[in-house]
A = this chain, B = another copy of it.
Amino acid sequence: MTLEELLARHELEELIFAYCRHFDLNEPERVAALFTDDAVVDYGPEFPDVVGAAAIEDAVAGGLDRIFAATSHHVSNIQLEFDGPDAATGQTYLYAWHRYRDGSPDGELWGRYEHRFRRTAAGWRISSLRLTAAGSRDFHRSAMHPTGRR
């Protein structure tokens, strides 16, 4: 591994952190700006894929408007693999806490983000995001993609 790859890893981590931060600050337009124009987001089996930054902004804004009074997305165990200098995949652990607008008990999620990243003229962007779950507690969703555990 080279210094160049270490720097790219740092930029990808910043991208993942920015997703969490802007989501938790209720800034859907800034969340969407982290994705490529043709990005695909798959939050789970009960939702159709969300395609493109504009649709991602709408989807995130909708959830933040209707469902969440507060959220906190803590990411760790970030594992990245490069496929050439301008593409990468990643798996990231997510521990997320959610407070609901309707007063339901706070929901917790022990999940994973499966990412694809692409380096564009404007920098690294998320080209695909798939959310899987090891488990949850009092979460507002019951159908989640599995992690692939045997």
Contacts and interface: CB of A to CB of B under 8 A. Distances in A.
Nearest to A93: B74
A30 to B, nearest CB: 11
Nearest to A94: B74
A2 to B, nearest CB: 8
Interface of A: 1, 3, 6-7, 9-10, 14, 17-18, 20-21, 24-27, 70-79, 91, 93, 95, 97, 99, 106, 110, 134-135, 137, 147-150
A110 B68 CA distance: 15
Copies of this polypeptide in the complex: 3
A13 to B, nearest CB: 9
Given A74-B77, A97-B134, A134-B72, A149 B20 contact: no
Given A72-B134, A106-B137, A10 B21 contact: no
